[in-house]
Amino acid sequence: MIDFSIFTDAWPSLLSGFLLTVEIWLAGCALAMAIGAPLGFLLAAGRRPTKALVRAYVEFFRGTPLLVQLFVLYYAGPSIGITLDALPAGIIGLGLYGGAYCTEIVCAGLEAIPPGQIGAARAFGYSRSQTLRHIVVPQMLVLVLPPLVNIAIFVLKDTAILSIITVPELTFQVTGLTLDTFAFVEPYLALSVGYWVLVELTASLGRRAEIRAARYLETSA
Amino acid sequence: MTTPTSAAPDREPLVVVRNLSKWYGAHQVLHNVSMEVNRSEVLCIIGPSGSGKSTLLRCVNFLEDFAEGEVRVGGRLLGYREDLKGRRVPDSRENVARVRRGISMVFQQFNLWPHLSVLENVAQPLVVVQRKPRAEAEAKARQVLDRVGLAAKLDAYPNQLSGGQQQRVGIARALAIDPELILFDEPTSALDPELVGEVLQVIKRLADDGLTMVVVTHEMGFAAQVADRVIFIDHGAIVEQGPPQTLFRNPGSERLAQFLETWVERNQIFTDAPSVADGGKVL
């Protein structure tokens, strides 16, 4: 029988886990974008050696599992002089991992703007930053928003991996509850619902933003 | 070589190109090209595809760099300067923008900005680059859009317009900055045949208003009617130039004669007396 009474005593720890998950998620996404936006520009328009460095970063973090990256950062870090608590290690790990994907997305978005439009801006005297702000970014947003929302969703679900390096986020708390109560169905069901609600919320916010950014395309003849 | 008829022969040419050469890798696309654009002159550049005419036009605006030679606009060097040791070095982006401020350009592929409305496409350079108040910029934009017959399309987006309308927006955008010179890079080559006329009509009207322009074109009839002077380019070099009547009726070179021949043959079907200088029925 399904018995939800096990949550009566557990809800404070579950709530704190939920809030921590949200914090880790937002911090991870912010870090991923802070890495991805500038590196995406460098990958699209930088000099060759810079591009190679950015490319190496992307390949490494995209080519290995997040869990392995977290192990390296958290367990192997101290032996090379990087000592981090579990929480910052987890956030940095998530940010570096998501940042690799964001870099690719921003780069692809930039490359999708037809060069002729940028040439026209130059011919009319726009500076580089004016071209970026008035011509490139508004169009790029439409292209990069959907994949970026996807990355935000991936990062959210990957916060669960941080439980393995003992970050007391939602999955960690729920796992603790299962060990205390030997109940598995109810806790993991609740856990799934918790993530699902956040994912749906993100997706619907993302859709709204996409529609807003793409208003000029709606009117196609 | 015939000297061009100019509205103000006593004044300096607006643009002077001297001994310009350009390479793409090992391939030389422009050979020692020299030319002038006089004020109030309509100069048409014709030549086969790949002859370098668009490249030359883009050098005049410094959208393309070039290895040798110089371009002067209003007497000032464009794109390069001499450093203290007299070496030729690329000029700063700001200086380039300053020197070519009086030049605007109309592109083959229109190159409108799709996320901006027609009005914004025309007004934005005035706000962003010339720092005009938005109201003033929009008033100017309305005025030039009216001039190209698009006063009813201010709020449309480029993808809602026909190719001909898009190119007229491109022309309005070029007009809005009150240019001394407009460069047209094959303005009708990307258009469906039935839309070519409306765009040429607009350009012709600007020519009648005395605007200085350089038009790279495949429309011989248009060149014959509108140009004060025609330059024929082949393999990256100027083969001959002169008033269209002279050039089209009595080509001085075998190459131009051949080039005109193919054009006449293609249009033979429309006309019993294939005189190129009559310009067919383009307008």
**Residues of B in Cβ contact (< 8 Å) with A119:** 63, 107, 111
Q: pLDDT of chain B along its 283 residues, tens only?
A: 444 444 444 468 999 999 999 999 999 999 999 999 999 999 999 999 889 999 999 999 999 999 999 999 988 999 998 888 888 899 998 899 999 999 999 999 999 999 999 999 999 999 999 999 999 999 999 999 999 999 999 999 999 999 999 999 999 999 999 999 999 999 999 888 888 989 999 999 999 999 999 999 988 888 998 999 999 999 999 999 999 999 998 898 999 998 888 877 777 766 655 455 554 444 4
Number of other residues whose CB lies within 10 A of the CB of residue B176: 26
Do the domain assignments include residue A168?
A: yes
Judge whether B109 is closer than 8 Å to chain A, CB to CB.
Answer: yes
Beta B103-106 vs B15-24: how paired, if at all?
unpaired
Tell me the mean pLDDT in the region A41-49.
Answer: 91
Which among B104, B116, B128 has CB closest to A126? B128
Question: What pLDDT score was predicted for residue B273?
Answer: 52
B115 contact residues in A (CB cutoff 8 A) = 138-139, 142, 216
Pairwise CB contact (< 8 Å): B104 & A124: yes
Query: What's the confidence (pLDDT) of residue A45?
Result: 87
| Residue at A173 is within a domain | yes
Residue A1 — very low, low, confident or very high, per pLDDT cuts 50/70/90?
low
Q: Which of B93, B112, B159 sits opposite A127 (nearest CB)?
A: B93
The pLDDT of residue A219: 56
Residue A158 lies in a domain: yes
- Please answer yes or no on whether A130 and B161 come within 8 Å at the CB atom: no
> Which residues, other chains included, contact A65 with Cβ-Cβ below 8 Å and sequence gap of 6+?
none
Task: Please tell me the distance from the alpha carbon of residue A123 to that of residue A192, in angstroms, as a whole number.
Answer: 54
How do residues B134-182 score in pLDDT, each as one tens digit?
999 999 999 999 999 999 999 999 999 999 999 999 999 999 999 999 9
pLDDT score for B7? 45
ipTM: 0.84
pLDDT of residue A113: 93
Chain B: closest CA distance from residue A114 (Å):
9
Predicted confidence (pLDDT) at residue A221 exceeds the cutoff of 90? no
Quick one: closest CA in A to B122, which residue?
A124
Prediction pTM value: 0.81
List, for residues A105-143, the tens digit of each pLDDT value. 999 999 999 999 999 999 999 998 999 999 999 999 889
* Residues of chain A with C-beta less than 8 angstroms from the C-beta of B160: 219-221
Going by pLDDT thresholds of 50, 70 and 90, the confidence category of residue A166 is confident
Mean pLDDT of all residues belonging to chain A: 90
Q: Which of residues 138-157 of B touch A (CB under 8 A)?
A: 156-157
Give the residue numbers spanning the domain of A132.
12-115+123-220
pLDDT in tens, A66-77: 999 999 888 888
- Residue A7 maps to a domain: no
The answer to whether position A174 is within a domain reads yes
Q: From the list A119, A120, A216, which residue is nearest B115 (CB)? A: A216
Say how many domains are in chain A: 1
**Cβ within 8 Å of residue A97, ≥6 positions away:** A32, A61, A66, A69, A155, A158
Contact across the interface for A120 and B113, Cβ inside 8 Å: yes
Residue A1 maps to a domain: no
Do the domain assignments include residue A81?
Answer: yes
In chain A, the percentage of residues whose pLDDT exceeds 90 is 61
List the single residue in B with minimal CA-CA distance to A121: B125
CB contacts < 8 A, A to B, total: 67
Structure confidence at residue A211 (pLDDT): 87
Q: What are phi and psi of B42, to 5 degrees?
A: -105, 115
In B196-259, which ranges are E strands? 212-216, 229-234, 237-242
Under 8 Å CB-to-CB from A109, ≥6 apart: which residues? Answer: A40, A140, A143, A144
d(CA B84, CA B95): 17
User: Do the domain assignments include residue A58?
Assistant: yes
Q: So what's the pLDDT on residue B269?
A: 64
Q: Is the pLDDT of residue A96 over 60?
A: yes
Query: CATH number for the domain including A62?
Result: 1.10.3720.10
The DSSP result for B20-63, as a single string, is EEEEETTEEEEEEEEEEE-TT-EEEEE--TTSSHHHHHHHHTTS
